[in-house]
Structure 1
Amino acid sequence: MQLKLMHPDFPAAAVTQEEYEAAKEWVIKTEVLEEAFIDDVSVTFGNNEPIKGKDAVKKLFKWQFSALKSFDHSVEFILVLKEGIIVQSKTTYNYTDGESTTVKAVGMYAKTPDSTKGYRVPPVW
């Protein structure tokens, strides 16, 4: 079996350590991430329909945060390329009723190292 991770015409470009660190910070700081959303951002949770548009996504997060006592994002893997960022994470949501839920996720962001804006690439499944 042969596994091709990148198209041969579009090889992955290496990033500098500074670009890598900046990309990690962009992903980890949710307030930075929210401000970086492009106007037609799309966010999908699980098998739900995508939430589209910056205002709708902010409204979703506002509602979500009101139902939470706290949450913890744990980045388990991050791949930073010139073409974008891929993040594997685990998030524990601690609800105001005392319940907790932990989910694993993969996020793909179309964001170049020199850009402050980006968008989440929706899953293809």
Structure 2
Amino acid sequence: MTETFPHRPLREVRAVHAWQRSCPSDFADVTVDFEPWEPGLVLETAADLEVPDGWSLEELYGAVAEGVREELAALELDPAVTVVLRRLRVHEVDSSARSFRRAGRLLVRNALAVKP
């Protein structure tokens, strides 16, 4: 890996993972900021982040971070980033850690698609 991610701040990057083919379905809606930082991946949450009742921020955010790491590794990009969780939406039945891990991977793809 030689190239680092991101090159510049990327604000309000959103990923919606919605898969409804059968039961159970998957749903995750996540918005983050990617801030350039020192080598590695740092996780933060916005001060005004609201976590829906019955959900663990650590589990959901851990899953998002895992997805971000997986996608950066697959793309052979070195993380030098702080990921700030701004918003998240869950579905009481269809959301899971797996859904949020997939959304984490999609966040990286969406960030790379942002034009400078």
Give the TM-score taking structure 1 as reference length. Answer: 0.27
Q: Which has the higher contact order (CA 8 A, sep 6+)?
A: 2
Larger radius of gyration: 1
Q: Which has the higher helix share?
A: 2
